[in-house]
Copies of this chain bind each other. A is one copy, B any other.
Amino acid sequence: MRDVAIVGVGMTRFGELWETSLRDLFVQAASDALHSARADHLEAVFIGNMSAGQFVGQEHLGPLLVDHLGMVGVAAGRVESACASGGLALRTAFVEVASGMSDLVMAAGVEKMTDTADVTEVLATASDQELEAYHGITFPGLYAMIARAHMEKHGTTEEDLSWVSVKNHRHGALNPKAQFPAEVTLEAVMRSSMVADPLRLLHCSPVSDGAAAVLLCPLDQAKQYTDRPVRIRASGLATGTMALADRKDIAVLDAVQRSAQRAFTMAGLTPADMHLAEVHDCFAIAEICCVEALGLVAPGTGKSAARTGETALGGRIPVNTSGGLKAKGHPVGATGIAQAIELVEQLRGEAGARQVRGARIGLAQNMGGSGASSVVHIFEGS
């Protein structure tokens, strides 16, 4: 396999972007990625998108989006793994370049979520429709059960959950692309309205529009496009059971553990080698479960990592310096690519007020549904 690098990035602001259509969101992000690498061609584009069919009545995004980018003819396809669709697009592009099939490839993600009234029902189609969604459960409900199980097992408290939101909003306040670039107090989180006990509004990531794109090429061609390529050291993809009811312990995300093991093995690295991480905090409890499953914190300490500052900017292992899904926003198909972009900016030393000093190796973890799929990438700056 060839070594692969990211040589260009582009993303829109995340938010309720009423004036911008799905195709325009993609074109903005993709154009910025091409310009950032001074590239005027592409060989293939892989687009992560969860549900444009249901959200805006549009499947077949591959040809639609390259057409509107002005690049008719380029090989293109959409990949989907619910909220991990962006991570899956990055993996697909990585393998495409590593194989030798193509030299200059775009991995993009896009979701236009605000144009439908049924967002919660559409998102629920990422759970098991026949065993879960059909009976009325939604994602806040599924993650609330995970949170309750974690509380029972580890003594995790509502305050522990709330510190995750406080931390991620503190980070997001430094990110001009974030949907909610503002700090929130612990009191505000704990007084916000209850969505699914114990998860309150400010424990939940928002409904968002947005797009993000990265350009990949063989590492030995990277200098044509940038002085600061970021190498993709590893890509790990794994699944777990779809329905929560089929899991031995719903407080453990075993797809996340498996995807991390595959990535660490491929990279020849361990969690202790990571300088920062972007993890999938669709709900506050998800970040707690993920930092444990990834081995970024000691077993059982996930609940306190945000409170103690271990995972905050300036801490031992900063997590979600972008603001995470909570503050940056979560246009589901775009999220995995946006995570990669945060790491590229950090590993290039271009993250401004969010910069993690001396960051050279980072990890991105993107998750689908209630953790039934997970993708982990490990990046290294040059």
* A59-91 near B? 1/0 per residue, CB < 8 Å: 111111011000011111111111000001001
Residue A101, interface by CB 8 Å: yes
Report A's interface with B, CB cutoff 8 A.
1, 21, 23, 44, 50-51, 53-54, 56-64, 66-67, 72-82, 88, 91-92, 95-96, 98-101, 122, 125-130, 133-134, 237-242, 246, 254-255, 258, 262, 368-369, 372-373
Interface pair A62/B239, CB less than 8 Å apart: yes
A373: which B residues are within 8 A, CB to CB? 60, 62-63, 76-77
Interface pair A129/B56, CB less than 8 Å apart: yes
Interface pair A78/B80, CB less than 8 Å apart: yes
Interface pair A44/B237, CB less than 8 Å apart: yes
A75's contact among B60, B99, B127, B239, by CB below 8 Å, is which?
B239
27 A-B contacts, Cβ less than 8 Å apart? A1-B99, A1-B100, A1-B101, A44-B237, A50-B59, A51-B53, A53-B125, A54-B54, A57-B133, A59-B82, A59-B125, A59-B126, A60-B80, A63-B240, A67-B242, A74-B238, A75-B237, A76-B237, A77-B80, A77-B91, A78-B79, A79-B92, A80-B80, A95-B95, A98-B101, A99-B99, A99-B100
A368: which B residues are within 8 A, CB to CB? 60, 62-63
In addition to A58-B129, A61-B80, A77-B81, 13 A-B residue pairs with Cβ atoms within 8 Å of each other are A53-B54, A57-B129, A57-B133, A59-B82, A73-B238, A73-B254, A76-B373, A77-B79, A78-B79, A79-B79, A79-B80, A95-B101, A98-B101
Interface pair B239/A72, CB less than 8 Å apart: yes
Interface pair A59/B51, CB less than 8 Å apart: yes
Main DSSP-derived SS at the A contact region: mixed
Interface pair A88/B77, CB less than 8 Å apart: yes
Question: How far apart are the CA atoms of A289 and B92 in the complex, in Å?
Answer: 31
Interface pair B21/A130, CB less than 8 Å apart: yes
Question: How far apart are the CA atoms of A140 and B21 in the complex, in Å?
Answer: 27
A134: which B residues are within 8 A, CB to CB? 57
Interface pair A64/B242, CB less than 8 Å apart: yes
Q: From residue A24, how far is it (CB to closest CB) to chain B in Å?
A: 11
Interface pair A64/B128, CB less than 8 Å apart: yes
Q: Do A82 and B101 contact each other (CB < 8 Å), given the known contacts A130-B21, A237-B75?
A: no
Interface pair B133/A258, CB less than 8 Å apart: no
Q: From residue A235, how far is it (CB to closest CB) to chain B in Å?
A: 8
| Nearest 6 A/B pairs, CB to CB | A99-B99, A63-B372, A63-B239, A60-B82, A75-B237, A58-B129
Q: Give the residue name and chain of the B residue nearest to A130 (CB).
A: B21
Q: Do A240 and B72 contact each other (CB < 8 Å), given the known contacts A62-B373, A77-B80?
A: yes
